[in-house]
Structure 1
Amino acid sequence: MDPSDPSTNDPRRRAPLVLTTQLVIAASFGIPAFLSFCFLRTQWADLYAARTLHHPNLPPLPKSFFGWIPALYKITEDQVLEHAGLDAFVFLGFFSMAIKLLAVCTFFAVTVISPIRWHYTGLYDGDGSLSVIHRTRLTIIGHASVDGDMNSNDESVVTDPEQYDTYLWCYVIFAWVFTAVTGYFLLRQTHHIVRVRQAYLGSQSSITDRTIRLSGVPVELRSEEALKEHIETLGIGEVRSITICRQWKELDNLMDRRRKMLRKVELAWTEYFGDDGVKRSPRASLPVSSLPPSSAFQMTDDSATPLLNGENTHVELPNVISGTPPVGRRRPLLRAGFLGIFGNIVDKIDYYTAKLEKLDQQIKLSRHKEYKATPVAFVTMDSVASAQMAAQAVLDPQAYHLIAHNAPAPHDVIWPNLYKSKFERLVRQWFVTIIIAIATVPLALCVSFLAAFLEKDSIAKFWPALSNVLEKSDLLNALVTGFLPTFLFTLLNILVPFIFNGLSTIQGYISHGDVELSVVGKNFFYIFVNLFLLFTVAGTASKLWAILKDTTSIAATLAQSLKSMSLFYVDLIILQGMGMIPFRLLEFGVVFKYPFKKFFSKTPRDFYNLSKPPNFNYGFFLPQPLLILIVCLSYSCMSTKILTFGLIYFILGYFTFKYQLLYSMAHTQHSTGKSWPMIFFRVCIGLIIFQITTAGTLALQKAFYLSLLLVPLPIFTLIMMYNFYEHYLPLSYFIALRSILSNEIRRQGSRTLDEERERNQVYINPNLVSPLEDPWIADENGRPINVHYD
Structure 2
Amino acid sequence: MGRWISKLLVVVACILLTILFLIPVVVVQGLTNLSQLEVWFPFLKSILTIAFVSQIVTGYLPSLILQLFLKIVPPIMEFLSSIQGYISHSEIERSACNKVLWFTVWNIFFATVFSGSVLNQISIVLDPKNIPAKLAVVVPAQASFFIAYVVTSGWTSTSSELFRIIPLICSLMTKCCAESTDDEIEVPSIPYHRDIPRILFFGLLGIAYFFLAPVILPFLLVYFCLAYIIFRNQFINVYAPKHETAGKFWPIVHNLVIFSLVLMHAIAVGIFSLKKLSLASTLVLPLPVLTLLFNEYCRKRFLPIFKSYPAEILIKKDREDQNDALMSEFFDKLATTYQDPALMPIQYSADSDSLNRPLISSAETAM
The equivalent residue for 1:436 is: 14
The equivalent residue for 2:137 is: 560
Deviations 1:703-728 (Å, cap 9, x if unpaired)?
A: 23311211011101101110111010
1:579-590 map, 5 Å: 579-590=156-167
Deviations 1:81-114 (Å, cap 9, x if unpaired)?
A: xxxxxxxxxxxxxxxxxxxxxxxxxxxxxxxxxx
Pair 1:711-2:289 in alignment: no
The equivalent residue for 1:630 is: 204
Judged with a 3 Å threshold, the aligned counterparts in structure 2 of structure 1 residues 743 and 497 are, in CA distance, closer, same or farther, namely closer
* From 416, 419, 425, the counterpart of 2:3: 425
Judged with a 3 Å threshold, the aligned counterparts in structure 2 of structure 1 residues 549 and 679 are, in CA distance, closer, same or farther, namely closer
How much does 1:543 deviate? 4.0
Pair 1:663-2:237 in alignment: yes
CA–CA separation in structure 2 for the residues paired with 1:509 and 1:761: 29
Pair 1:692-2:281 in alignment: no
CA–CA separation in structure 1 for the residues paired with 2:333 and 2:173: 35
CA–CA separation in structure 2 for the residues paired with 1:669 and 1:741: 22
Judged with a 3 Å threshold, the aligned counterparts in structure 2 of structure 1 residues 593 and 532 are, in CA distance, closer, same or farther, namely same
Amino acid at match of 1:430: L
Given that 2:190 and 2:241 are in contact with CA atoms closer than 8 Å, whether structure 1 keeps it comes out as yes
1:224-239 map, 5 Å: none
The equivalent residue for 1:576 is: 153
Amino acid at match of 2:204: I
CA–CA separation in structure 2 for the residues paired with 1:699 and 1:574: 32
1:582-661 map, 5 Å: 582-602=159-179, 604=180, 608-609=183-184, 611-661=185-235
How much does 1:475 deviate? 0.8
The equivalent residue for 1:450 is: 28
The equivalent residue for 1:681 is: 255
Judged with a 3 Å threshold, the aligned counterparts in structure 2 of structure 1 residues 463 and 741 are, in CA distance, closer, same or farther, namely same
The equivalent residue for 1:90 is: none
CA–CA separation in structure 2 for the residues paired with 1:638 and 1:526: 24
Given that 2:24 and 2:66 are in contact with CA atoms closer than 8 Å, whether structure 1 keeps it comes out as no
* From 520, 523, 526, the counterpart of 2:100: 523
Partner-residue secondary structure (3-state), 2:53: helix
The equivalent residue for 1:463 is: 41
Judged with a 3 Å threshold, the aligned counterparts in structure 2 of structure 1 residues 741 and 596 are, in CA distance, closer, same or farther, namely same
How much does 1:743 deviate? 7.8
Partner-residue secondary structure (3-state), 2:240: coil
Judged with a 3 Å threshold, the aligned counterparts in structure 2 of structure 1 residues 759 and 618 are, in CA distance, closer, same or farther, namely farther
CA–CA separation in structure 2 for the residues paired with 1:500 and 1:730: 26
Partner-residue secondary structure (3-state), 1:670: coil
CA–CA separation in structure 1 for the residues paired with 2:46 and 2:244: 55
Judged with a 3 Å threshold, the aligned counterparts in structure 2 of structure 1 residues 750 and 714 are, in CA distance, closer, same or farther, namely farther
Judged with a 3 Å threshold, the aligned counterparts in structure 2 of structure 1 residues 742 and 704 are, in CA distance, closer, same or farther, namely closer
Amino acid at match of 2:167: V
Judged with a 3 Å threshold, the aligned counterparts in structure 2 of structure 1 residues 476 and 668 are, in CA distance, closer, same or farther, namely same
How much does 1:600 deviate? 2.5
Given that 2:133 and 2:271 are in contact with CA atoms closer than 8 Å, whether structure 1 keeps it comes out as yes
1:370-385 map, 5 Å: none
CA–CA separation in structure 2 for the residues paired with 1:579 and 1:526: 21
CA–CA separation in structure 2 for the residues paired with 1:644 and 1:677: 28
Judged with a 3 Å threshold, the aligned counterparts in structure 2 of structure 1 residues 432 and 645 are, in CA distance, closer, same or farther, namely same
Pair 1:482-2:56 in alignment: no
Amino acid at match of 2:27: F
Given that 1:449 and 1:540 are in contact with CA atoms closer than 8 Å, whether structure 2 keeps it comes out as no
Partner-residue secondary structure (3-state), 1:666: coil
Partner-residue secondary structure (3-state), 2:189: coil
How much does 1:473 deviate? 0.9
Partner-residue secondary structure (3-state), 1:709: helix
Given that 1:505 and 1:515 are in contact with CA atoms closer than 8 Å, whether structure 2 keeps it comes out as yes
Judged with a 3 Å threshold, the aligned counterparts in structure 2 of structure 1 residues 761 and 678 are, in CA distance, closer, same or farther, namely farther
How much does 1:645 deviate? 1.5
Q: CA RMSD in A?
A: 3.0
How much does 1:550 deviate? 4.2
Query: What residue ranges of structure 2 are gaps of 5+ in the alignment?
Result: 342-367
The equivalent residue for 1:165 is: none
CA–CA separation in structure 2 for the residues paired with 1:473 and 1:750: 73
Given that 2:64 and 2:153 are in contact with CA atoms closer than 8 Å, whether structure 1 keeps it comes out as no
Deviations 1:32-51 (Å, cap 9, x if unpaired)?
A: xxxxxxxxxxxxxxxxxxxx
Given that 2:100 and 2:193 are in contact with CA atoms closer than 8 Å, whether structure 1 keeps it comes out as yes
Structure 1 or 2: more helix by fraction = 2
Of the structure 1 ranges 689-698 and 543-552, higher mean CA displacement relative to structure 2 is found in 543-552
1:378-393 map, 5 Å: none
**Larger radius of gyration, structure 1 or 2?**
1
Amino acid at match of 1:487: L
Judged with a 3 Å threshold, the aligned counterparts in structure 2 of structure 1 residues 670 and 743 are, in CA distance, closer, same or farther, namely closer
Judged with a 3 Å threshold, the aligned counterparts in structure 2 of structure 1 residues 613 and 701 are, in CA distance, closer, same or farther, namely same
Query: What residue ranges of structure 1 are gaps of 5+ in the alignment?
Result: 1-422, 769-790
Deviations 1:333-377 (Å, cap 9, x if unpaired)?
A: xxxxxxxxxxxxxxxxxxxxxxxxxxxxxxxxxxxxxxxxxxxxx
How much does 1:608 deviate? 4.7
How much does 1:647 deviate? 1.7
How much does 1:549 deviate? 6.1
Pair 1:734-2:273 in alignment: no
Partner-residue secondary structure (3-state), 1:669: coil
Given that 1:448 and 1:541 are in contact with CA atoms closer than 8 Å, whether structure 2 keeps it comes out as no
CA–CA separation in structure 1 for the residues paired with 2:324 and 2:198: 36
Partner-residue secondary structure (3-state), 1:668: coil
TM-score by structure 2 length? 0.82
CA–CA separation in structure 1 for the residues paired with 2:66 and 2:148: 11
Larger relative contact order (Cα-Cα within 8 Å, sequence gap ≥ 6)? 1
1:86-101 map, 5 Å: none
CA–CA separation in structure 1 for the residues paired with 2:177 and 2:332: 35
Structure 1 or 2: more strand by fraction = 1
The equivalent residue for 1:502 is: 79
Judged with a 3 Å threshold, the aligned counterparts in structure 2 of structure 1 residues 649 and 515 are, in CA distance, closer, same or farther, namely same
CA–CA separation in structure 1 for the residues paired with 2:333 and 2:265: 50
How much does 1:445 deviate? 2.1
The equivalent residue for 1:6 is: none
Amino acid at match of 2:56: L
Deviations 1:250-296 (Å, cap 9, x if unpaired)?
A: xxxxxxxxxxxxxxxxxxxxxxxxxxxxxxxxxxxxxxxxxxxxxxx
Judged with a 3 Å threshold, the aligned counterparts in structure 2 of structure 1 residues 455 and 683 are, in CA distance, closer, same or farther, namely same
Q: How many residues align?
A: 335
Partner-residue secondary structure (3-state), 1:673: coil
How much does 1:516 deviate? 0.4
Of the structure 1 ranges 511-520 and 654-663, higher mean CA displacement relative to structure 2 is found in 654-663
Given that 2:28 and 2:63 are in contact with CA atoms closer than 8 Å, whether structure 1 keeps it comes out as no
CA–CA separation in structure 2 for the residues paired with 1:666 and 1:704: 54
